Structure formats: C-alpha cells, structure tokens
Amino acid sequence: MIFMKPYAQPRSTILPNNDYKIDSPDFTFMKKEFLFLLITSLFIISSCTVNQAKIDNGLKKYFDSSNVDGCFSLLDNATGEITLYNMKLDTQRVLPASTFKIVNSLIGLETGKIIDEKMIIKWDGVKRRNEDWNKDLTMEQAFKVSAVPYYQEVARRIGRDTMKLWIDSLHYGNMDISGPIDSFWLNNTLKISPDEQLGLVNKLYFDQLPFSKRAQQIVRDVMMQENNTLYKLSYKTGWGFDESGNSIGWIVGWIEENRHVYLFVTEVRSTDKNIDMPKVRMKITKGILSELGFFKGEK
C-alpha cells in the first residue's frame, strides 16, 4: 500500500492568540483532497485480525477477581500474533472516553491548535472534583492527568469541520461526532471497539497515521508512563459511562522490552457505581502482563 501525506496544514493566517484562520480557499481545497483520500481509503485505522488470534480464556480470572467484565488483547509486533480474551467484547464499540485524547492531541498538533507539548491553556476558574485540573496546564500535564477541560478547549479550537475531516480520514470507530463539539467522545456519540483501538496504537507507534512524524512523536512521548532498565510502558487511560450508566474503563498502549514492542488494549465494564476504576483497570492490565512474562526484561 502506498502512503501519502494529506494536506494537514492549509495555508492559513496566524491570529494574535496563535490561533489559525481556517476559512480560506486553501482549506476548501484541502477538503476536496481529503474526500479523495477517503474514497481511496489510504489512511483507515484497520482493526487487527481477530480470526488469527490466540484465545486465552485463562485471563478471565483477572476480571473475575475484581467482579467486572471486559476484554484484553495483545499484539506481538515481531510475530503478528494476537493474544485475546473475550472476542465478543473486543469487537463491540463503546465510548472512547479519555483515550480520545490520543487523537485529539494529534489533530491539535497537526492543525496548530496545540503548538507543542508545553503549550499552556489557562484554567477557566471553574472548580472541579479533580484538583489536578484546577490550574493552568501544559498539553503534557493535561494528558498525564487526563484533564477533560483542557481537551474540551482544544476540540473547540479545532472546530467541527476540521475535527470531522480527521475523524473520517482515520475511520475512527463509528465516526459520529454529532452533538456538542466538546463532549462527543464522552456522551456515547462517538464509539470505538477495543479491536479498533489496537489498530490505532499500532499505527501510532510505527508512524503510520496520517499525521506528521513530529505530531506522532510528541504523542508517543506524552504517553510514556514508566521507563526503566527492564521495560518501557506507554499508555492512555479512559473512564466513562454507557447509556445504562455502567462504567467503561480503558487502558490502551504498548510495552517495550529489549527493543521489542507489544501493543495492548484493556477494556473493563462494571455495573458497580462505586468501583475504583483507575485501580481496577491497572490491576487487571499489570496482572495480565505479568502473567504473560513482562516487567522482567526477558521478552
């Protein structure tokens, strides 16, 4: 397959607040070019081939021990082998919640709405339950603490038309961003499957998404969570609620040992209104990775 770089940066006017004016003739031309790219399907986030997966039902115990449902998938890049638990859920779409910050960041960087990982968006003064959000934040800080207000502002600056172009070009989940531009990834409008999430992070790791290498490198850098002599662990978390009020938890990313990368996705579902989702999703993910031999520097 031949990969071409889309017209990600139209000729535009930089406004005094470092924003971009995108209603130029060049932007209209860019839309036409994007339609061509969509038709030829050069930049689709392909899902991983689940019919070639190794089903491991033994991983069920990690979900049972926390009284939750869910699924897990791991792609060994060297062999192409996928280890999978719960194929039924692996292909069902649910809201991405804060895992959408991966794509929101990429689009923001590519369009200049995020200058770089050090760009600050000032706190709007609204007190929220998460104290980490109640201050001025850089993009890097906002990504690490999963600050919803920061990325809602990024989405507003990107705008619906530009956001839709990129979501469609990526073929991201159901590609539905109807409703408020600053909440479609939180309110069950936009949905994506774990299988599609695995395809996304796989392409991100190898610079195969239709964004500049710079944008993809910045996002990979901010996804790094643990880095030591044995392994490197990179991921983005997410937590939201489906239409029935059930908790949906995510961890999507990769682990590297001995210059060898494995991409993974954990999805957790729970009816417990009081679940400690951050603790549960990490316990399950690290428990499974440990059973599969990670964290020892021997993979």
Catalytic residue numbers, as ranges = 98
- Nearest in space to 67 (alpha carbons), one of 287, 277, 296, 209: 277
Query: In sequence order, what are the residues at sequence separation of 6 or more whose Cβ sits closer than 8 angstroms to the Cβ of residue 208?
Result: 3, 202
Q: How far apart are CA 169 and CA 119, in angstroms?
A: 26
* Cα–Cα nearest to 253, from 294, 212, 213: 294
Q: How far apart are CA 96 and CA 153, in angstroms?
A: 18
For 284, the 3-state DSSP assignment is helix
If we measure between CA atoms, which residue out of 258, 267, 260, 257 comes closest to residue 288? 267
Alpha carbon separation from 155 to 105, 144, 268 (Å, rounded): 9, 18, 26
Q: Find how far residue 249's CA is from the centre of its chain.
A: 13
Q: What is the CA radius of gyration of the chain?
A: 19
Helix (H, G, I), strand (E, B) or coil at 164: helix
Collapsing DSSP to helix, strand or coil, 209 comes out as coil
Paired tokens of 162: 């530009």
110 token code pair: 């590519």
Amino acid at 154: V
